[in-house]
């Protein structure tokens, strides 16, 4: 009879081998990491004789099915055990899986690979275009304890009932002066209530970080003033992902307050000067932001080391009277 303890011993063997390999050569991206996990599982003869495919479905949850268990794979180049997880609605969950585990590869700092039960490491709900869980290996505050419901029972709820738990959770996290922005409750729409903050009230380091992320995801901002809606995606990203509302889109990239930050001398294209001022923050964002965001905003996946060059190529197609690839990141 299959038991959780047997499967956990199986995971111990896998993560021990992965940690050893991570310390020697590392895993530069998530695809290589997941492929290696599949190779190790199959090299061990599978679990209970069941092997895994080498060409996984790109959207199924969890990533690997070894019934009745499943494995969700996470990888980061940061020195952190946190990552965005799947949609809270789990519409792509595989049938027949009774218990899900996470294998997490942390390549930043001292490379290491660990596993944990999914229900024990999910610790937050964060806002994207679809609300997603956030997990942290080793957390002592699983979100289902905060919800007051077990993960198996949460899975049985319909979309509206799940949202009630998420709303209650969001309300309890509000700070003085913050409000919820109630969005649609349809699971296919923006359905998470947002804790809204005003962009002008943020501290400068956070403003620079958010501008860098928005600029990277939205190369359309380099377009001419006649380009309709060139700031729309950037503004939508800030409100849907960070709960930050920017009442004047030009404050992000073309206002004097950002363009003249490093050099008060007026003149030239303010968009160039404002982007040049946050190049380092954009480089950091390129390596730290989840690939799912680039799939969403760029329409394609992109490895971290290629994101700046890809952004420059896309920006070149939008810009008029100047060429971003010849001006920025030199």
pLDDT (tens digit per residue) in 271-292: 888 899 999 999 999 999 988 7
pLDDT for residue 155: 92
C-alpha distances out from residue 322 to 171, 261, 325, Å: 47, 21, 9
pLDDT for residue 184: 42
DSSP 8-state secondary structure symbol assigned to residue 102: E
Beta strands (DSSP E) in the chain are 64-66, 69-76, 82-87, 99-106, 112-117, 122-126, 132-136, 180-181, 194-195, 197-198, 244-245
pLDDT tens digit sequence for 10-58: 999 999 999 999 999 889 999 999 999 999 999 999 998 899 987 777 6
What's the pTM value of the predicted model, to 2 decimals?
0.62
Instruction: Determine phi and psi for 107, rounding to 5 degrees.
Output: -95, -15
pLDDT for residue 69: 95
In the structure encoding, which two tokens stand for residue 173, read together?
Answer: 């996290």
pLDDT for residue 268: 62
pLDDT for residue 245: 86
- Between CA 213 and CA 204 the distance in angstroms is 14
pLDDT beneath 50, residues of the chain: 1, 182-194, 257-260
pLDDT for residue 92: 82
């Amino acid at each position: 009879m299959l038991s959780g303890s047997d499967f956990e011993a199986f995971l111990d063997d896998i993560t021990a081998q992965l940690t050893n390999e991570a310390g020697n050569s590392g895993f530069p991206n998530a695809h290589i990491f997941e492929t290696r996990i599949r190779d190790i599982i199959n090299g061990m003869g599978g679990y209970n004789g069941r092997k895994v495919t080498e060409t996984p479905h790109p959207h199924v949850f969890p990533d690997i099915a070894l019934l009745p268990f499943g494995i969700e794979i996470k990888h980061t180049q940061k020195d952190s055990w946190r990552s965005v997880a799947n949609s809270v609605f789990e519409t792509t969950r595989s049938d027949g899986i009774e218990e899900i585990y996470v294998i997490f590869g942390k390549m930043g700092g001292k490379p290491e690979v660990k596993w944990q039960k999914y229900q024990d490491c999910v610790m937050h709900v964060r806002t994207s275009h679809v609300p997603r869980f956030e997990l942290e290996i080793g957390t002592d505050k699983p979100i289902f304890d905060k919800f007051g419901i077990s993960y198996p029972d949460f899975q049985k709820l319909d979309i509206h009932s799940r949202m009630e738990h998420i709303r209650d959770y969001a309300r309890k996290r509000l700070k003085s002066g913050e409000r919820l922005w109630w969005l649609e409750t349809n699971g296919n729409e923006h359905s998470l209530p947002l804790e809204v903050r005003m962009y002008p009230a943020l501290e400068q380091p956070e403003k620079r970080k958010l501008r860098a992320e928005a600029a990277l995801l939205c190369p359309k901002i380099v377009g001419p003033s006649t380009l309709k809606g060139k700031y729309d995606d950037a503004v939508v990203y800030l409100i849907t992902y960070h709960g930050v509302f920017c009442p004047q889109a030009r404050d992000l990239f073309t206002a004097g307050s950002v363009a003249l930050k490093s050099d008060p001398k007026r003149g030239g294209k303010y968009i160039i000067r404002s982007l040049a001022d946050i190049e380092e923050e954009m480089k950091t964002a390129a390596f730290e932001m989840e690939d799912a965001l680039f799939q969403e905003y760029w329409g394609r996946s992109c490895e971290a080391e290629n994101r700046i060059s890809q952004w420059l190529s896309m920006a070149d197609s939008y810009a008029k009277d100047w060429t971003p690839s010849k001006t920025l990141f030199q």
